[in-house]
């Protein structure tokens, strides 16, 4: 049988009306199903494509922004300033969002025991997080002791750095007091004067060991030069290897972030979150006229820089 030339028209003529309508309806239904299936696949593909993006946004919202913690030392190191710094170090160690710490220093140093306490806490912190020191006006004596406990030291060009050594005030000479009863000749004074001098030398040697451990091969001068007790300008200190580079606090923050391998960080003063309330305390003594002296109020051994007294004309 020969196929008609216009097969579509012939087929329409041969198929009864109701049957033809059913065929068209059936074809339309299949088309709707096909389109629906197509959009379903497209939606599924888009959903899977956007899933990593949505997951990334969710994770970013849940993970806190990296923090560079700032610890400020703007006065002498005593029992209260040391306790404040230790609380801040503990906060940094216990909070994972704090990724590094910058110790911002403007201090002449202070008591031996309190300086060593903070130094040891800095060493513990460095086991898990980098620490960078930024020297503002001064890092002298005990303040430099703390600086060598960090990974990196940045100073301003004319900051004062060094004054490595120990200063002490001898206790009163043993005497007899009718109103005081004590056992042993040194119960009242603790130790003889010559022993006090030996203790001072032992503290100096401990300071030297801390510098050698902290600076190591970066030192470009011998310890005999460092232990003269001299203060150096920041530019000189860089050349001697007792600090690492010239810069500002912002440079120290960037270096801390680099060592911690973080970007898009924020900074926070850790004293505002550590919960420590700093009490009123006067480290320095006072003259009979009520003027503040440049020497500590209590006798003892200190890692402290004491500025020279002004020369007065007679």
Q: Could you tell me the mean pLDDT of each successive run of 10 residues in the chain, 314 residues long? A: 53 50 55 67 63 60 85 95 96 97 97 96 98 97 98 98 90 69 74 81 95 96 95 97 98 98 96 84 77 79 79 52
Altogether, the residues listed in the chain come to a count of: 314
Report the DSSP pairing between strands 98-107 and 131-140: parallel
Output the CA–CA distances (angstroms, integers) from residue 314 to 62, 111, 260, 311, in the order listed: 71, 35, 58, 9
* Structure confidence at residue 260 (pLDDT): 97
Entry pTM = 0.76
For residues 155 and 161, the answer to whether their CB atoms sit within 8 Å is yes
Residue entry with tokens 């919202």: 61
The structure tokens listed for 205 are 């040697």
Short-list 212, 199, 272, CA closest to 241: 212
For the domain spanning 65-173+180-275+299-304, the CATH number is 3.90.226.10
**Residue ranges of domains in the chain:** 20-61, 65-173+180-275+299-304
């Amino acid at each position: 049988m020969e196929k008609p030339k216009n097969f579509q028209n012939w087929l329409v003529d041969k198929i009864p009306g109701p049957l033809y309508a059913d065929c068209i309806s059936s074809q339309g239904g299949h088309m709707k199903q096909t389109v629906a299936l197509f959009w379903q696949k497209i939606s599924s593909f888009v959903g899977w494509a956007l899933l990593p993006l949505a997951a990334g946004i969710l994770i970013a919202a849940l993970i806190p922004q990296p923090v560079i913690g700032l610890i400020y030392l703007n006065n002498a190191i005593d029992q209260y300033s040391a306790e404040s710094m230790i609380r801040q170090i503990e906060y940094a160690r216990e909070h994972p969002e704090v990724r590094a710490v910058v110790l911002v220093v403007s201090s002449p140093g202070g008591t031996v025991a309190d300086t060593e306490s903070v130094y040891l806490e800095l060493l513990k912190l460095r086991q898990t997080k980098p620490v960078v020191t930024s020297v503002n006006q001064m890092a002298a004596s005990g303040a430099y002791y703390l600086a060598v406990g960090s990974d990196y030291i940045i100073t301003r060009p004319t900051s004062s750095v060094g004054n490595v050594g120990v200063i002490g005030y001898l206790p009163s000479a043993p005497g007899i007091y009718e109103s005081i009863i004590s056992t042993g000749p040194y119960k009242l004074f603790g130790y003889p004067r010559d022993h006090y001098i030996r203790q001072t030398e032992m503290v100096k040697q401990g300071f030297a060991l801390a510098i050698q451990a902290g600076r190591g091969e970066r030192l470009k001068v011998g310890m005999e030069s460092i232990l003269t007790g001299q203060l150096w300008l920041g530019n000189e200190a860089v050349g001697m290897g007792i600090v690492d580079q010239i810069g500002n606090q912002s440079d120290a923050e960037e270096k801390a972030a680099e060592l911690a391998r973080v970007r898009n960080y924020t900074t926070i003063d850790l004293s505002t979150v550590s919960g420590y309330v700093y009490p009123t305390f006067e480290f320095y003594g006072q003259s009979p006229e009520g003027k503040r002296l440049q020497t500590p109020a209590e006798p003892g051994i200190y890692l402290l820089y004491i500025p020279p007294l002004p020369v007065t004309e007679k």
